[in-house]
Structure 1
């Protein structure tokens, strides 16, 4: 039987440069690196696979797996006559997968790493890798290959990569730990890396590959839990309203000056993260910058009056200065959080009745603590006394059902913001949403993980801490479905 060369030609013409680089990376266990480095066209890549017997007459299994790993289901179905479901079943059989679990892990990590995170990897590896290999065009896959060449990364040598991920993005570290747990098991995980068994059976590889390519579908919790989930199938899911206050010059110019409010440097990093994550979750993004208190009220009223009948959810993210129970407009005037949330009760917004209304508020809720060198607080004041009204959190959301309010910090306390990396809370929230939503985890489980991560951080030199707090009147599981 002759190879379907016409089909291979069509597939090769559909692959772009980045996809070809990914296919070459995933094939490194089967084709020598020196041979792959010389390849610039997909047709040449396919010829290299044929030379190594990875593509043969009547057997395109490896190419099917590569396209599946790459996410090109369209080519898999149209040109190779296979489907996502067929591949999921096939790859769960021990020994069928030809892409190693280790290499697929690295590929997945590269897909999740942002441009800023890639720059951080290059910076931290500046003394380990040649500078000429860390130029602006170097991709994360290129970085992994250079780390392998230097002997600081390998299937049994993940220590440095884990250390880097711990510094740059804790979610990436958790991905690696999840991979290790599936391959080694809990008992062997307690053994130092260099003393663990050097080989894992095909069953262990198949188990991790299956879990990584076929995660629990969003909503699958319903099958094992008696608790119903909110409907989350509309496209778009709803509006994600982002109120992003950065420039507080108007507040500083006021006579008398209401508060000593600095500009909120770093807030745009938060806004970008929220846009990215909620776009992936199929929300329509509506962002407004530098609003006065009155403008905040007007914008909220616009979306209160909007018809949400074809939407399943409403999300509002508020990034500003604040104090207990309020957020500030850029003019230094106060807006009670309860006023904003109450705007979307069933009585005030009929089309959202019975649907989840989610609010994330990044703002201080009390006095500012002593700051570290590069850390700022989102408090608008410096000297006011600490209040102790423990009823604050519940008072901020309406008594009726279907509300969730995620606060960056507990009552009376500050929240912290890095001018370069954004706030502790919003960054952790976005990372955990991005990691956990595709796995079908509900929002309260995700917010608990956010609490854990933020609570572990500290603001030097006095080791001040921050603890977020969610309040909710949800009646069902809230799962942000990705599909």
Structure 2
């Protein structure tokens, strides 16, 4: 396959959002006027070729760009992969640290955070509407309010919405200062090499001699570090990449959604319909046959699980079960407020009880409280009840492999639900699936991002107490699970999902 054909293959997998990301990352390499005129990823590739930044023998920049925007699955077209690029960029990069830092901020800014930042920055109305954070950053740079060494305006705005994002800016400043210092030392070292007399032949004050010695030691350490990095790269290229679950059978698999809203002895779970809708759209988009069952008692849940465990999954890649209900420690509730242990739910699909799913990934996403330690307020409610007698139910991941259980919260704690938008956990799960599956990310990486997003949410009770939530995935996977990229971009079911 010639190089241009490979570029066309890459371009066909990229979205318009990817194009805007790539253009932003190239702002230091290509004139902004030319970038603004570009309307397709292929046009961007042509512009990089014109600027001698991309050709058959020089495609490191494109690989770096694809890595940064998370399109790791496309690196194979350039003869590399995510792990190789990870190590390569430790010793050589073209995109500036500054622009990478800004892009990381963009990737982690929520729509609500963006609204707050726009308000704080007092950006003119015509620049506000329907703007992405990348466009806001471009506006700040264009108006000389933001640059590599001018970050105070951005820091002030970000500090109001996210300590984590502010930390990214601070980390960048620290690393940049360190690199400037190292560059200064290197220049001094080169200057010393050009002097007519050797260091040993000159009389220098003891204090200066110590400085010279420090510079020499620093250079030696840098050489040693580069050598070690090269050795690590050589070892990495010989390392076998993680094996992946097969996802190329005739059908992707069943996705069962059990959605309980009304209960005999506890409050209704208002807002759960938003979760059910979002899950249905996302897993249908991922190619699964989605079936939703509403308002099931404990016995009906057991009957439903039996039904799906008896189905023939021979021609299917995997199985997904999502349960939206009230819960107790290590258990969920039916509409009759009776419990069913999570371990029992999983056991229905063990190799012994469902032979056609043996060796295939089985995913269970449980949106339910696991205790009563916290308490919500206003429109934030808890998916737990206190009217049912507390029962201790042991939960263990079965000894059988290939199971993943995604819990909305850790044992003993509440799980929060917005009555208008749905639960924190399910909304974060769906949003990250739609963003990260097209980039070739595996399910565990996606759930790590879900953990981060949910853990950063908070609700103020009486203007004082921060109510928090921490999801908890557990798994016995033996391989990586990567859902194939759907042929079409995901279309959100409604405005509440951003």
Measured against the shorter chain, the TM-score band is 0.5 to 0.7
- Larger CA deviation: 64-73 vs 138-147: 64-73
CA offset digits 1:81-117 (Å, max 9, x no partner): x65579x78994899754434435545765x569xx3
Q: Radius of gyration: which is bigger?
A: 2
CA distance in 2, matches of 1:119, 1:406: 26
Query: How far apart in 2 are the matches of 1:154 and 1:364?
Result: 45
Equivalent position SS for 2:120: coil
Alignment partner, residue 132 of structure 1? 126
Checking the alignment, whether the CA contact within 8 Å between 2:337 and 2:388 is kept in structure 1 is no
Q: For 2:44 and 2:399, locate their aligned partners in 1 and report how far apart those are by CA, in whole Å.
A: 62
Asked if the contact 2:329–2:371 (Cα under 8 Å) also holds between the matched residues in 1, the reply is yes
Which structure 2 residues correspond to residues 316-395 of structure 1 after superposition, within 5 A? Answer: 316-324=321-329, 326-329=331-334, 331-332=335-336, 334=338, 336-337=340-341, 338-367=343-372, 369-379=374-384, 381-384=385-388, 387=390, 391-394=392-395
Q: 1:382 to 1:147 in 2, by over 3 A?
A: farther
Q: Name the Cα RMSD after superposition.
A: 5.8
Residues 258-314 of structure 1: per-residue CA shift (max 9 Å, x gap)? 2232233166258637964x789x673625153323654454333212223355643
The verdict on how the C-alpha distance between 1:263 and 1:165 changes in structure 2, with shifts beyond 3 A counting, is farther
Paired residues of 1:64 and 1:76 also in contact (CA < 8 A): no
Residue in 1 that maps onto 2:32: 33
Q: 1: distance between equivalents of 2:310 and 2:139?
A: 55
* Distance in 1 (alpha carbons) for counterparts of 2:47 and 2:273: 48
Alignment match of 2:319 (pick from 314, 324, 329): 314
Give the direction of change, closer, same or farther, for the CA distance of 1:465–1:383 in structure 2 (3 Å limit). Answer: farther
- In structure 1, the gaps of 5 or more residues are 1-5, 224-228, 252-257
Change (3 A) 1:67 1:469: closer
C-alpha separation in 1, matches of 2:304 and 2:45: 55
Note closer, same or farther for the CA distance 1:259–1:151 as it changes in structure 2 (3 Å cut). farther
What is the aligned partner in structure 2 of residue 479 from structure 1? 480
Contact 2:409-2:471 within 8 A present in 1 as well? yes
- Partner of 1:232 in structure 2? 245
CA–CA distance in structure 1, aligned partners of residues 436 and 89 of structure 2: 26
Q: Which residue is 1:415 aligned to? A: 415
Unaligned stretches of 5+ in structure 2?
187-221, 485-498
The corresponding residue for 2:294 is 290
Give me the TM-score of the superposition, normalised by structure 1: 0.62
8 Å contact 1:314–1:358 — kept in the other structure? yes
**Partners of 2:8 and 2:451 in 1: CA distance:** 45
Instruction: Quickly say closer, same or farther: Cα 1:470–1:25, change in 2 above 3 A.
Output: closer
CA distance in 2, matches of 1:94, 1:160: 29
Paired with 1:106 and 1:361, the residues of 2 have a C-alpha distance of 35
Contact 1:275/1:285 (8 A) holds in 2: no
Residue number among 232, 238, 257 corresponding to 1:243 in the alignment: 257
Contact 2:260 2:295 in 1 (8 A): no
The answer to whether the 8 Å contact 1:406/1:468 transfers is yes
Query: Could you tell me the TM-score, scaled by structure 2's length?
Result: 0.60
Asked if 1 retains the 8 angstrom alpha-carbon contact of 2:327 and 2:333, the reply is: yes
Distance 1:285 1:295 in 2: 21
